[in-house]
Chain A
Amino acid sequence: MTASLSQIRNFSIIAHIDHGKSTLADRLIQQTGGLTAREMSEQVLDNMDIEKERGITIKSQTVRLDYTASDGKVYVLNLMDTPGHVDFAYEVSRSLAACEGALLVVDAAQGVEAQTLANVYQSIEHDHIIVPVINKVDLPAAEPERVKAQIEDVIGISTDDAVMTSAKTGLGIGDVLEAIVKFIPPPKGDFDAPLKAMLVDSWYDPYLGVVILVRVIDGKLVKGQEIMMMAAGTKHLVDRVGVFRPKIEVIDALGPGEIGFITAQIKEVAQTNVGDTITDAKKPTAHALPGFKEVQPVVFCGLFPVDAAEFEKLRDSLGRLRLNDASFSFETESSAALGFGFRCGFLGLLHLEIIQERLTREYDLDLITTAPSVVYKMLLRDGREIELHNPSDMPDPSTIELIEEPWIEATIFTPDEYLGSILKLCQDRRGIQKNLTYVGGRAQITYELPLNEVVFDFYDRLKSISRGYASFDYHQIGHREGDLVKMSIMVNAEPVDALSMIVHRGAAEARGRHMCERMKDLIPRHLFKIPIQAAIGGKVIARETIAAMRKDVTAKCYGGDISRKKKLLDKQKEGKKRMRQYGSVDIPQEAFIAALRMGDDK
């Protein structure tokens, strides 16, 4: 039996990090009996360690709740937990497309943040009904009335029906459930039409294979059905249909308006495309769902094993991660400085960090990450157009007609006092101011910025300038022509490929000087002096020199205790192993990592 349309409510929760989304979700599950208090580990929905630690959601998830409302009827509530970060904007848009409404959770003390805004606008674009939930009203610093006014001012939605909650204490949870039933519209759909369902997300489960999260629009999904992925053109046999409560429950069928999962003996997530339309292979629907996009990586970097012997292990680990995350790409890359590794593409910086962290943590790999770069489009003199993912592959400048770089529109939300410094930061990064508004002690700034300035260290700088109070969000707005050059860093007259980067001509000198100063501090003194230079083409734009080592001697030889001296030598040689030989210069691995991290000192 599938649920009747009028008694289904599909909704997502929009919230800034730490505003209590997960706690609220846990309360809703608890109150409707999805899990007993004992079964609830903190924040049930965020499965991965990284998700728990960072308080962010990477994969879309869903929970089906049965709720007996005050009208006496039993409703099926599908809570869709969406990724909370701009890197996963496309996944978010698909999750939102699977819902008819959203709870907008705002911290009663903190108010609206940039991330909340971006997501709530998306939700509005999907014609969602938004139910404001003012959370943490039990806090001494709570100012629910001010926050309500802010929501009306900034977002422009009515807060007359806003619900006051404290997810922590459980206050107002019943009101939230009633508001969902009352305000969020039921889905529409046709039981008798051919199957049309949206592939919302998918992931790899070691026991079940690839699990596909679906939202049925029309028709029915049942076990044994042969389905077709319309964009991929592949067919599969459904071997399991179910819902999450949040534990897995296998059911007979999913009908229109319902959200659940299927498995179909699929081995790799790469075979499932988020946003694809699933239909019945024998009786396909005439029209696929709108809005399907192939996901394209926008940020690239090189990942190299610190220990060259771990190259195969890294390949293997990347392959395994890709089983579950088809949105990143990797191909072999070799660097004179760093040896063999991989050029990897990511949806954004957070995505990059997550993959890097999972490799380190789950696969126990020691990695060097090169400076993130973006995708440049180049028109060559011979009329060819190429895309550049790696500064090392930059063609000879004389063959380049023009270079285009990706731009973004960034929304920054900040307390007034940091506004000046943030504007300066945006200007320094070649930003174009589009908008500036004040709302109750906070400023909302919209800037157009080149993405390459953002991947550099923008986010770290923003956080440090605003002591962590500013929030930031962005979306891409296409490629634009730019005066871009490749800057090389040379150590002892040898270019270090891992450190080369593409920069705007106007910023090259400052960046080059900074890089040289940085490397000067990071490379230990040698027996000879070492020049460090930044250069564009053959022209040196910045230079530092590491003086030769003057003293490295053990004064005493500890009586006849030679073992002790030998240990010292062993330690010294062990230290050398952690260095990369560059010509006659040994560069510590940490130097690459630290130099490329940037941004925490200037």
Chain B
Amino acid sequence: MPDLEPLAVYIHWPFCVSKCPYCDFNSHVRATIDEAGWRDALLADLAFEAALLPGRRVTSIFFGGGTPSLMDPATTGAVIDAVARHWSLDADCEITLEANPNSVEAARFAGYARAGFGRVSLGLQALDDAALKQLGRAHSVREGLAALDIAQAHFGRVSFDLIYDRPGQTRAAWEAELARALGFGTEHLSLYQLTIEPSTAFARLHADGKLVLPDADTSADLFELTQAMTAAAGLPAYEVSNHARPGAASRHNLAYWRYDDYIGVGPGAHGRRLATATERHKKPENWISALAATGSGLNVEAPLDAETRATEALLMGLRLAHGIDAAHFAARTGRTLEATIDTAARDRLVAQGMIEARTDRLQLTPQGRPVVNAVLAALHR
């Protein structure tokens, strides 16, 4: 079985109870959802991909959204079972559910565990009630922490998200908040700086000057502080915004960053498989009708040439603390790392202390990590 090519499976559930003002993911609010119909549609979309990719071993399944913890556990179980029927699951296959930390959803956690999930990723987002309110979250800190307890009781592996670098957030406030977060013994944390995404409610407020983000120096300070505190707590960054105990990194996300094959099933889901970029119809209704008409929810299926694959692999891989393995890079993209980068720029960046370059691996230094975009722009040929 280890000889089989690995595959990561992403399932998108596009519905939310309400839309958060910072979020630009593909989420929709609908009054009623025909869950049986949706289950069948997801299964059909999945079967379409399975037919193209026989004989793989699945290393991870990730249910994202939207809010997949609004799904009936039975629906998720049906999808997981189908994945297991189409392919063989790795013995330690990582099956993750994104969940909102509120009491209604936490009540279903036992059901999800029975359905096959071994890992949950909680959208805790903040340990401050005023901040949660500003972020448009429905839960309180107390409710969130209660959900975290339940999650840690039911799942072997738990992660939670926090959004920092928020309007008005001081260094001291974040330091206290992060210290508290690190005290729960959770093995994995996703710590994202608040980013204003286009066409969100926050983008409008920001444009009107009603939402003011911390200045660049403060953001840089907060980022550095985060690196230092998580490392000290034994959860160093293994990716720009992701921190884990040794061995607790998200295998599913690693597939993205290492540019391994992954399929994306469900509205708006993205995939990279067989040197092809796939994108499903974003709007749930369009995805459903595309499925009925063509047998898949595909909206875009674009072959990627070696150059594009190499660019993608570079910009994903450089985010990892481990960096890019030259051999894996060449195998995945059909191009050498050397041919993908501007070697003069690489040497300059090495001299500036932004990257470390060995023949078998290219990685950011801790100094280069906060400026990875600028490094990439300089490095990419």
Contact = CB atoms under 8 A, between A and B. Distances in A.
B371 A553 contact: yes
A559 interface: yes
Interface size class of A (residues with CB under 8 A): 20 to 34
Given A527-B352, A528-B352, A555-B241, A562 B378 contact: no
Contacts of B219: 551
B193 A555 contact: yes
B315 interface: yes
Given A562-B270, A569-B315, A584-B348, A553 B377 contact: no
B370 A552 contact: yes
A576 interface: yes
B270 A527 contact: no
Interface in B148-178: none
Contact of B256 (A528, A551, A560, A566): A560
Contact of B319 (A526, A557, A559, A560): A557
Contacts of A527: 349, 352, 354, 371, 374-375, 378
Contact of B377 (A555, A561, A576): A576
A573 interface: yes
Contacts of B372: 552-554
Contacts of A561: 270, 279
A555 B195 contact: yes
A439 B374 CA distance: 61
A561 B64 CA distance: 13
A550 B374 contact: no
Interface in B281-331: 308, 311-312, 315-316, 319
B380 interface: yes
B241 A556 contact: yes
Interface centre among B10, B316, B374 (most CB of A within 10 A): B374
A218 B262 CA distance: 92
A552 B373 contact: yes
A386 interface: no
B371 A560 contact: no
B304 to A, nearest CB: 9
B370 A550 contact: yes
Contacts of A563: 270, 277, 279
Nearest to B373: A552
A562 B377 contact: no
A562 B373 contact: no
Nearest to A564: B270
Contacts of B216: 550-551
B240 interface: yes
Contacts of B352: 527-528
A553 B240 contact: yes
A569 B192 CA distance: 20
Given A552-B372, A553-B372, A568-B373, A559 B311 contact: no
B61 interface: no
B223 interface: yes
Size category of the binding interface on chain B? 35 or more
A348 B195 CA distance: 50
Contacts of B375: 527
A429 B220 CA distance: 44
A562 B371 contact: no
A551 B270 contact: no
B258 to A, nearest CB: 12
A212 B10 CA distance: 78
A572 interface: yes
A559 B64 contact: yes
Interface in B233-277: 240-241, 256-257, 262, 264, 269-272, 277
Contacts of A549: 371, 374
A361 interface: no
A559 B370 contact: no
Contacts of B371: 527, 549-553
Contact of B10 (A551, A552, A560): A560
A551 B374 CA distance: 9
Contacts of B10: 559-560
* A528, A566, A576: most-surrounded residue (chain B CB, <10 A): A566
Contacts of A553: 193, 223, 240, 369-373
B92 interface: no
B376 interface: yes
A310 to B, nearest CB: 25
A568 B197 CA distance: 13
Contacts of A559: 10, 12, 25, 64, 256, 264, 269-270
Contacts of A526: 374
A565 interface: yes
B119 to A, nearest CB: 16
Contacts of B269: 559-560
B208 interface: no
B264 A560 contact: yes
A419 B315 CA distance: 60
B264 A566 contact: no
B237 to A, nearest CB: 11
Nearest to B302: A563
A568 to B, nearest CB: 7
B262 A573 contact: no
B217 interface: yes
A562 B316 contact: yes
11 contacts: A527-B349, A527-B378, A550-B217, A550-B371, A551-B223, A552-B370, A552-B374, A554-B195, A556-B195, A563-B277, A566-B312
Interface of A: 526-528, 549-563, 565-566, 568-569, 572-573, 576, 584
Given A562-B256, A568-B373, 15 more contacts: A527-B375, A550-B220, A550-B370, A551-B371, A554-B240, A554-B373, A557-B316, A557-B319, A559-B270, A562-B270, A563-B270, A563-B279, A566-B311, A569-B315, A584-B348
